[in-house]
């Protein structure tokens, strides 16, 4: 006869850490498990002219964003070729000699953009530093499909560093960025429906959004997750994130029950996770879930996160349906830019 341990009878998690944003998290083990906790949502109906179709998807997203803060989207309308070309460019960049990559190192600018060298950061205080390298870039109105490009100069709103010896690199990355930017704006309207506010509630928040993007490279790990991670446990800064994965597993999500859950790649899907700005605005109704990467699959792993945030001058004021006299706002009101700068400053010091 076997007995089942329930949440009521299980001992409390014995492991804990403090994240960059000050959040304390507790968990049972550094070893991840497989579980069907991350929903897969077919979002094809968000393109429907029928509001009932869009509301139906919104209710699925509402449940996922509240319960776990992570979900896969399928039938999102973005051709797979964009991701394939982005990963090809990622490999071109990361295969360069270290001295070439360091010419665009993020240390050269104040912002959180440029090259992040291999094994520089240690987000969770492990014995070994996080085994990853990355390249980040940001929003440019020249490449925004909703901005008249012939009226905008091809200049970056903030200083970005681009490699000089990789022809086509910038344009190909921005082609993918533009596709994700369009999808993010459309999905934000579905998030508005999910929060039971008008569909256009957030439209003014994202006219020139803080829409950063990154390509990441994770070599195979030899050390155990107790000693080293690909990227340490963290939450994202912005409103929500799209993560396009290659075919190799590595992304893991911390469940409310205190276990690391594998977020295995699903071909053709994009992972969506709620980020901290959205959690603040929804008064914790939407969950900015802790996640990490552990690459123990024996192969080089690449991923492409797209971080979608509000215009930097917009105030992170509470969504009306998420506050009441009995449930007052938990956070002070700051602008999106103020919050993102604070988080970026902390991250660069690690």
Digit-by-digit pLDDT tens for the chain (350 residues) are 334 444 455 677 778 877 776 778 888 888 888 888 899 999 999 999 999 999 999 999 999 999 999 999 999 999 999 999 999 999 999 999 999 999 999 887 766 788 999 988 888 888 999 999 999 999 999 899 888 555 455 555 456 789 988 999 999 999 999 999 999 999 999 999 999 999 999 999 999 998 999 999 999 999 999 999 999 888 988 899 999 999 999 999 998 888 999 999 999 999 999 999 899 999 999 999 899 999 988 899 999 999 999 998 899 889 999 999 999 999 889 888 888 887 777 665 55
CA 91 vs. chain centroid, Å, equals: 21
Which two three-digit tokens encode residue 237?
């800064």
The domain locations on the chain are 25-349
Question: How far apart, in whole angstroms, are the C-alpha atoms of residue 218 and residue 252?
Answer: 14
Question: Tokens at residue 78, please?
Answer: 């973005």
Of 275, 290, 278, 273, nearest in space to 234 by CA: 290
Nearest one of 314, 270, 261 to 291, comparing CA atoms: 261
Three-class secondary structure of residue 47 per DSSP: helix
CATH of domain 25-349: 2.60.120.330
Beta strand spans in the chain (E): 15-18, 24-27, 40-42, 70-74, 114-116, 133-137, 210-218, 231-234, 240-245, 251-254, 260-262, 270-274, 291-293, 301-309
Token pair for 73: 């989207």
The two beta strands, 15-18 and 210-218, are unpaired
User: Is 0.85 topped by the overall pTM?
Assistant: yes
* Angle in degrees, CA 112, 309, 73, rounded to 5: 110
Strands 114-116, 291-293: pairing is: unpaired
Q: What CA–CA distance (Å, rounded) separates 96 from 98?
A: 6
């Amino acid at each position: 006869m076997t007995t089942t341990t329930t949440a009521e009878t299980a001992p409390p998690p014995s492991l804990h850490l403090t994240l960059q944003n000050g959040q304390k998290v507790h968990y049972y083990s550094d070893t991840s498990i497989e579980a069907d906790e991350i929903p897969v949502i077919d979002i094809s109906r968000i393109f429907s002219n029928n509001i009932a179709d869009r509301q139906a998807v919104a209710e699925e997203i509402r449940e996922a964003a509240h319960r776990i803060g992570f979900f896969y989207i399928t039938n999102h309308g973005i051709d797979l070729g964009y991701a394939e070309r982005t990963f090809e460019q990622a490999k071109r960049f990361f295969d360069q000699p270290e001295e070439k990559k360091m010419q665009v190192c993020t240390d050269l600018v104040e912002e959180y953009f440029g090259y992040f060298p291999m094994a520089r950061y240690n987000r969770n205080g492990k014995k070994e530093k996080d085994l990853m390298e990355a390249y980040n870039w940001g929003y440019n109105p020249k490449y925004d499909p909703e901005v008249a490009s012939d009226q905008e100069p091809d200049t970056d709103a903030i200083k970005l560093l681009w490699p000089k010896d990789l022809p086509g690199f910038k344009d190909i990355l921005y082609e993918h960025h533009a596709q994700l930017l369009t999808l993010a704006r459309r999905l934000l309207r579905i998030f508005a429906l999910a929060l039971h506010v008008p569909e256009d509630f957030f439209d003014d928040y994202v006219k020139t959004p803080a829409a950063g993007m990154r390509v990441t490279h994770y070599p195979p790990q030899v050390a155990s997750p107790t000693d080293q991670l690909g990227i340490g446990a963290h939450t994202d800064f912005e409103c929500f994130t799209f993560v396009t994965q290659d075919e190799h597993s590595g992304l893991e999500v911390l469940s409310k029950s205190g276990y690391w859950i594998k977020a295995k790649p699903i071909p053709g899907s994009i992972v969506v996770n709620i980020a901290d700005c959205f959690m603040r605005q929804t008064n914790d109704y939407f969950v900015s879930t802790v996640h990490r990467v552990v690459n123990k699959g024996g192969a080089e792993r690449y991923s492409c996160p797209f971080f979608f945030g509000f215009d930097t001058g917009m105030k992170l004021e509470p969504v009306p349906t998420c506050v009441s006299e009995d449930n007052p706002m938990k956070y002070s009101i700051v602008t999106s830019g103020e919050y993102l700068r604070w988080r970026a400053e902390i991250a660069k010091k690690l």
